[in-house]
A and B are shown apart, each in its own frame.
Chain A
Amino acid sequence: MKSYDAIVIGAGSIGLPVALNLAQHKQKVLIIDPEHGPGQQNNKKAIGGVRATHSDYGKIQTCLRSIELMSTWHETYGDDIGWLSNGYSYPAYEEGDEQKLKDLMKIQLSFGLNIRWLSPREYDEVVPGINMKGLRGSTFSADDGSCSPLLFTSSCYFQGKKAGVEHAFGEEVIKLDVSNEQITKVITNKATYTAKTIINAAGNQARKIGALAGIDLPVFPDNHEAGITEPVARFFGPMVIDMRKRPGSANFYFYQNVEGQVVFCITPEPPILGIDNRSTSEFLPMCAKRMLEVYPRLRYLKVRRTWRGQYPMTPDGFPIVSRSAQVTNLINAVGMCGQGFMLGPGIGELVWRIYANDLNESDLRVLESFKPDRDFSGMEAFK
């Protein structure tokens, strides 16, 4: 029976950076994932946006660190991950939205976020040709950005391998032996392993893995659809997020990635719970209409591909990151609510500090937002 310092369950947006961090600290790490390679569930479906523009201290701090890591990744590791400091924007077309965004900005600024309000004319300069009718202005967070989930994940995988991470692909965890509040064995469909610490980074399957250890993690995936266009010369800057609700959908967003392709995604309303990766006929007409209403210049862009993936949601839209109280050698880093990719690098370091019992003051404040014993009744403003 092979034994490790740590076993990470899930080779996705969270599992890969976590494993990389642990291995860089000389820990013997195994990642277990049922897919054939890294990032093959929801990681590869991520849109690629990376923002610190959140509403709470935990996510803002974690993502500020992610942005720091990702924007310097090429210098650190030599791997191109397609980082682009293109910023994020939340245009407001309704008075209420403008007020909400401006109120939130006060909190965001207090947490150290670089965010400002653009007048409609200023916004038209960063998103030339945006629909000005009824536009009241927009937030603009210049330091936010984007990078390729595929390249970032590949880099994490190869760098992890270099640092000694072992990978058990095509293996599914089917049983966790627990005794004396400790996981003693990790049993997959192929082998049995032991480790001092187990990290649950199982995304969609987080709840199932929790249940194997006898704990209930309120993580419920819901479905989102996304698409990507052909590449064209850069014509607008930031991610555009339209927070308005329309029949059938809540918010939607799009940006132009480093390749010049416009990537877009919509949140169905009411949510479509469960895991179903099949595409529906409703997505493209609904999303395209909303996109063209806001940004008519997109009309001639050809849609290249669409796909469907899940946000592993918690009831309040905040992740669960913590050492388990019931099973003390289990660390959960789950329920990323569709933000695993942008939270991943920051969470990777955070989980290392949880693992090493080396939490600093800011970490403790961050973990307040992510603690599992909260009442989940709040609601993240930017969910």
Chain B
Amino acid sequence: MQHRLSEHPILPVPQKQDIPFYWNKQLVYAKDGEMISSALIANGISVFGHHHKDGTAQGIFCANGQCAKCTVIANGIPVKSCMTKVLPNMIVSSADGLPSIPKEVPEIEFSDIHELETEVLIIGGGPSGLAAAIQLGSHGIKTLLIDDKHELGGKLVLQTHKFFGSEEDSNAGTRGHEIGKLLAGEVSKLASVEVWINSTALYVFSDKKVGILKDGEYQIVSPKRILNAAGAREKFLRFSGNNLARIYGAGAFQTLVNRDLIRPTERLFIIGGGNVGLIAGYHALQAGIEVVGLAEAMPSCGGYKVHADKLKRLGVPIYTSHSILSANGEETVESVTIVQVDNKFQPVKGTEKSFQCDTILIAVGLDSLSEFTIEAEQAGLPVYAAGDALEIAEASSAMFNGKIAGLLIAKDCGAQVDDIPSEWYQKAEVLKSHPGKIKGYQNHESEEGVFPIIHCLQEIPCNPCTTVCPTNSIHTEDGSLMAVPLYKGSCIGCGKCLLICPGLAITLVDYRQDKEFPSVTLPYEVCNNPVSVGDSLPVVDIDGRDLGSFPVVAVQSNKTKLTQLIKLKIPRNLAKQAASFRIQSAEVSAKLDKAIIPESLADDAMICLCERVKAGEVRKLIRQGITDLNQLKAITRAGMGPCGAKTCEVLIKGLLREEGIPTTDVVPNTKRPVFIEVPLEKFPKVK
């Protein structure tokens, strides 16, 4: 299997030089500038070592330097492979058990740590941080914006889909990765804003100084104010086999696929039907990955209906009221078992289904990254938060509340800023709205002329279709951003609404040439699965139900929007129902003849992956009356590992809930520096 993407429907695939290196003595190749982890995965290697506690396999997990599961030995030094670039002829080997450190080290020369003062420090260059920086910069306030990635934009960079929200406030209809570039471009024009990429904030210390690792060098910044725009972290799940290699979150997946243009899996199963899981599924399809299925524990997906519909229409089954029971395999995932859950989320025996897959993506929600806010408060530094660090919502909302935060900080710094209009706060509320009611289709009696069918039936904060129509024929029900859009007017068949709709939820029915077989235009952006004139495509309705196969009469590519418009001839009685066509066959999603059910389930699940602590061990202590996470940590080591309880804290709290402990009795973990593990040599600044 080819693990590198040679083409992508949305993202450019740059030509990069091959860099030779050695993996366990075997010559392999990376691309110039690539992280070791990505290079290994591109070479089909997914087990990077074996845990020193139980000898089980480890591979990529966070892809973000937060944990240490991807540790390898590079030129004799144990490193996090997701944060370490491949160097020519590097000797890399798996970390099996505890790694050794080199016997001989080069002589050390120390130099001083660079210290810098700034009016405002923005931690995080994603949508909210950038939006705030633009405001601060346009008021001439000295601002330092830091981001731990190699490029600004945060998670926007990884988003190949067009954005929701409104065009005016959040560039709706533009693709996420392009919005990231737009905002970064604006920031780069502002003289008072300094940007540090590859810069991770390690802690806001009590002396009001922030330790930052910039390009591998430790720096100290003294800000007068901090904006925490550091985003969120993904939650993990407790299930049997959750420590297998090839189980990871959407962030890691999107980093591999959309940043590094690597196909880390052939057959993916997704847990979680929020927007993150749904979009990751779509990204997988765009990378030519088979998406075996998606399970969501709630009776319906929490993400936007248009996202779920997109997946269903392309042929990905969504199992609602289903949860993961186990990941099965020796070292890496070989199959997944899901099970139906009742209204108390308890598994229903006999409903277990297993599917063959090689990777499981966990997308079960996000937690605000609140550490920097808390640290700054404890240090007595004025601190603000925006974006996911403030409250989990869409990027469109993050951009808007980042803008508000930027203005508020500018005002605090003494800049001349008008009062923020109260409508802004209302809009900020709307933009972070969860999806609302699901309506029926608009009644289209007409079978004349040309007009759009809007398959967007759920209230979501999104309206670019209403602003793009040249004849002003699309409006939301009550004019609000949230309401569903309706068509009324005089369509000229330009297709602009099809091209801008982030949900790909508008089709165009044209009766002008043939009333019996009107042409139906469908938006499509999985062009790595190419469609040509003359193909007969299995057309489906909004829910993915088959309507029959119909011929393609035209394929129109759009260089700027990248969405293709596929025109098919479809019989009159089905034309308005046609929403898309299936690209993934039902065989991909076939379940195994017999469900695989591991023997001991609940207590087998790993609660702390770093220290290999099982749920049963923690449950036993909870039943002895221990509800202090610090004490649970002291006894079991859960939370003492490299990730700093970032993964297990949520899982332990879940277990406490399951054991009937009221939240008020639970004592949370004490958070301590440093945010990520850093080699000792970075602190005294070794030359």
Which A residues lie at the B interface, using CB under 8 A? Answer: 36-40, 44, 128-129, 150-151, 153-154, 229-233, 235, 260, 276, 278-282, 284-285, 287-289, 291-293, 296-307
Contacts and interface: CB of A to CB of B under 8 A. Distances in A.
B677 A303 contact: yes
A13 to B, nearest CB: 13
Contact of B628 (A37, A278, A281, A302): A37
Contact of B679 (A39, A40, A278, A299): A299
Contacts of A154: 631, 634-635
B113 A285 contact: yes
A292 B101 contact: no
B209 interface: yes
B683 A303 contact: yes
B116 interface: no
B98 A292 contact: no
A300 B78 contact: yes
Contacts of A287: 683
19 contacts: A36-B627, A44-B630, A154-B635, A230-B642, A231-B52, A232-B99, A235-B100, A279-B205, A285-B218, A288-B680, A288-B684, A296-B108, A299-B681, A303-B677, A303-B679, A304-B642, A304-B644, A306-B673, A307-B672
Interface string B644-687: 10000000000000000000000100001110011111111110
Contacts of A301: 101, 679-680
Given A281-B211, A299-B105, A300-B102, A40 B642 contact: no
Contact of B98 (A151, A233, A285, A300): A233
A292 B686 contact: yes
A281 B207 contact: yes
Contact of B678 (A260, A297, A302): A302
B108 A297 contact: no
Contacts of B206: 276, 278-280
Nearest to A167: B625
Contacts of A280: 205-207
B644 A288 contact: no
A260 B98 contact: yes
Contacts of B677: 230, 302-304
Contacts of B207: 280-282
A108 to B, nearest CB: 32
Given A278-B206, A296-B107, A232 B78 contact: yes
A138 B241 CA distance: 49
Nearest to B678: A303
Contacts of B681: 288, 292, 299-300
A35 to B, nearest CB: 8
Interface string B613-643: 0000000000000111011011100001010
A153, A279, A292, A297: residue with the most chain B Cβ atoms closer than 10 Å: A279
Contacts of A298: 680
Given A278-B378, A280-B207, A306-B673, A291 B680 contact: yes
A229 B678 CA distance: 9
Given A40-B630, A302-B679, 19 more contacts: A36-B630, A38-B631, A129-B104, A150-B633, A150-B634, A154-B631, A276-B206, A278-B206, A281-B210, A284-B211, A292-B108, A292-B686, A300-B102, A300-B679, A300-B680, A300-B681, A303-B674, A305-B644, A306-B674
Contact of B103 (A36, A129, A292, A293): A129
A229 B673 contact: no
B680 A305 contact: no
